[in-house]
Amino acid sequence: MIDALVSGKLHGKPQQRTASNGSGKTFVTATLRCGTGEGEAQFVNVIAFSETVKATLLTLGDGDPVALCGSLTVSVWTPAQGEARPQVKLTATAALSPYHVTKRRAAVQGVRRPVRNGREPATADAGFYDDDL
């Protein structure tokens, strides 16, 4: 397996499923459409067992961008009639969506900057870069 960071757009809505072994554990499956840089697309089959990754994927819909990291497996799939194609599978352990980026950016910008030299920064943007030079 390969440790990978893969980004693309969801192809279809992610689906929550229940394990067939009787354990009752749930997982989420999704398909990610990734650009190859040569104008073509590569589809990545995604499975997630982590609660946070499952929750993230289930809040997203068809066409939403997302970045996933985890263990990547590459194999070859040959359809009944056709030529062999690469098959890429990712077991996702972490996810980052535009929602997370916006939320984290707002959290960072909303944090009060520490007081330096006994005075408050003039603006939230001044923060750590406001010095006496």
- The three-class DSSP label of residue 1 is coil
Domains of the chain as residue ranges with CATH: 2-111 (2.40.50.140)
| Residue 11 token pair | 């192809």
What is the pTM (predicted TM-score) of this model?
A: 0.72
Q: Can you tell me the distance from the alpha carbon of 90 to that of 1, in angstroms, rounded to the nearest whole number?
A: 9
pLDDT in tens, 52-97: 999 999 999 999 999 999 999 999 988 888 888 889 999 999 999 8
The owner of tokens 């809505």 is 13
pLDDT in tens, 5-26: 999 999 999 999 999 888 889 9
Cβ(48)–Cβ(71) under 8 Å?
no
Q: Can you tell me the distance from the alpha carbon of 64 to that of 99, in angstroms, rounded to the nearest whole number?
A: 10
